[in-house]
Structure 1
């Protein structure tokens, strides 16, 4: 069993603040921390930590700078059990993100892509037994299209986390086996308002538009998913949120692990939802201690 995550790696600067600043406003923060980030990097680490004790192989293809953040990124991936032989290195600085974390667990962020824009998609190898290739929208569309085409030629399935939201492009859309979006991304793809988005209607329309399995996540309001014809709803676990930063990436990493293990989409979303719930309710410094067994135990409570 093998998963290849192709995506961005960022050096994150995370500031705790009472609110998002208004235009021209300066706010006093209460703490700052530095972390490994990027949707692709976070998803690979999440998958790696959940598969340390089984035979699932997790690999990362990305591009980082020849700098200290790039060195740190490789170390973090390796420590999570992720193979890094397809992580490219360039002179352009490693990408970075500045995030503001709010007291209620919400956040806002700005990314600077840096070295991620230099990824050479043609140099990435996708060979059997790769079962799933995971993509996001932090890489250029052309790179995602190239990787998706390679994946299909190699007999692998393609999961796209369409975040940040942007038009998919017909070449990429036609290669997808699974599309995962949150409320905002679903609304953008459908030209609707996120505030009034109906999750069931959105998942049905996206499945009709793209002809693949679709998951629309709604935060603490649960999620809608569709594999074949009927849409199903899964409520969120009731947990005390410490921070929602990175929850979507924890969900994607866990979902792909479940699918690679041969689980159905319904079982996969239960497992992924549990992983995300544990992520948001666990102190940041303890998240690396979340195990597959812990996630499976919580997931079982949503299947009763």
Structure 2
């Protein structure tokens, strides 16, 4: 559409396709396409959308044996994209509210867990506690922003947010919403993605800023998910944080060059090509 709707405004736009997506699905596909060995846990409905999401993940190389079918309809998002590629998203959570930490079987020591917030926060907190107990690497994308107990967040190895989510969490904690202040408040690694300005991360080893790649933007939907999924895959394969963030930056940029969410998650060869250019 020419611009994103303001409150009370109806904006006419072009017809769009129904495309597979969802934060967890996008991130799982991004990790698998970058060479990760990925198992995806969540819930879909017994409907055509659920079947589409299951097959989309499976065909990308994701193990979907942990994807459960429930009575609620599959989650659905309405995505508006303006002429500059900026987006506005409304989500009907549907079956996602039935996702449970109990679905995740024994967590192998050294595994990487990547979680996001389109599922019940209490289930995320339970899974983080289990992961910390066995020495897993724990990543949480606090998107969409929702309350998590500070003690649950302090279990993380890395908290990933965009600027609006960082500002929201900073307000909850009485802090400035940036990577440095959130790291100081929580004592964990924090990465804040900053759109066309890149990403800033603060860990116990200090501050790291990486600029964004310059690309022709078609649609920014899914860029953050590409970043998270590829970062998780790279860390899981032994890359140090800076190298993993460089791959994630390239993946996020490439996701902006294609429409949609899951279909826009890049292949490893494309990431390698952008990094080598």
**Is it true that 1:292 corresponds to 2:237 in the alignment?**
no
**Is it true that 1:118 corresponds to 2:118 in the alignment?**
no
Q: Aligned residue for 1:100? A: 80
Q: Name whichever structure is richer in strand by fraction.
A: 1
- Give the 3-state SS of the residue equivalent to 1:37 in structure 2: coil
- Give the 3-state SS of the residue equivalent to 1:41 in structure 2: helix
Q: Aligned residue for 2:248? A: 272
**Is it true that 1:249 corresponds to 2:233 in the alignment?**
no
Q: Aligned residue for 2:135? A: 155
Q: Aligned residue for 2:156? A: 176
Deviations 1:201-251 (A, max 9, x none): 821111112222211111001111123242121111111111101100010
**Is it true that 1:145 corresponds to 2:125 in the alignment?**
yes
Q: Aligned residue for 2:18? A: 34
Q: Aligned residue for 1:6? A: none
Question: For residues 232 and 35 of structure 1, what CA distance do their matches in structure 2 show?
Answer: 35
**Is it true that 1:83 corresponds to 2:63 in the alignment?**
yes
Deviations 1:240-279 (A, max 9, x none): 1111011000100111111011111111111100011111
Question: For residues 97 and 266 of structure 2, what CA distance do their matches in structure 1 show?
Answer: 32
Q: Which runs of 5+ in 2 are unaligned?
A: none
Give the CA deviation at 1:94: 0.7
Question: For residues 58 and 50 of structure 2, what CA distance do their matches in structure 1 show?
Answer: 13
Question: For residues 126 and 299 of structure 1, what CA distance do their matches in structure 2 show?
Answer: 36
Give the CA deviation at 1:129: 5.7
Q: Which runs of 5+ in 1 are unaligned?
A: 1-16
Give the CA deviation at 1:287: 5.1
**Is it true that 1:128 corresponds to 2:108 in the alignment?**
yes
**Cα pair 1:107 1:244 within 8 Å, conserved:** yes
Question: For residues 254 and 78 of structure 1, what CA distance do their matches in structure 2 show?
Answer: 17
- Give the 3-state SS of the residue equivalent to 1:61 in structure 2: strand
Structure 2-normalised TM-score?
A: 0.92
Superposition RMSD in Å:
2.2
**Is it true that 1:50 corresponds to 2:31 in the alignment?**
no
Q: CA 1:182–1:97 in 2, change beyond 3 Å: closer, same or farther?
A: same
**Cα pair 1:59 1:82 within 8 Å, conserved:** yes
Count of residue pairs the alignment pairs up: 275
Give the CA deviation at 1:120: 2.7
**Is it true that 1:227 corresponds to 2:211 in the alignment?**
no
Give the CA deviation at 1:123: 3.1
Deviations 1:164-216 (A, max 9, x none): 11232134212101111111011111129xxxx98xx8211111122222111
**Cα pair 1:126 1:151 within 8 Å, conserved:** no
**Cα pair 2:26 2:225 within 8 Å, conserved:** yes
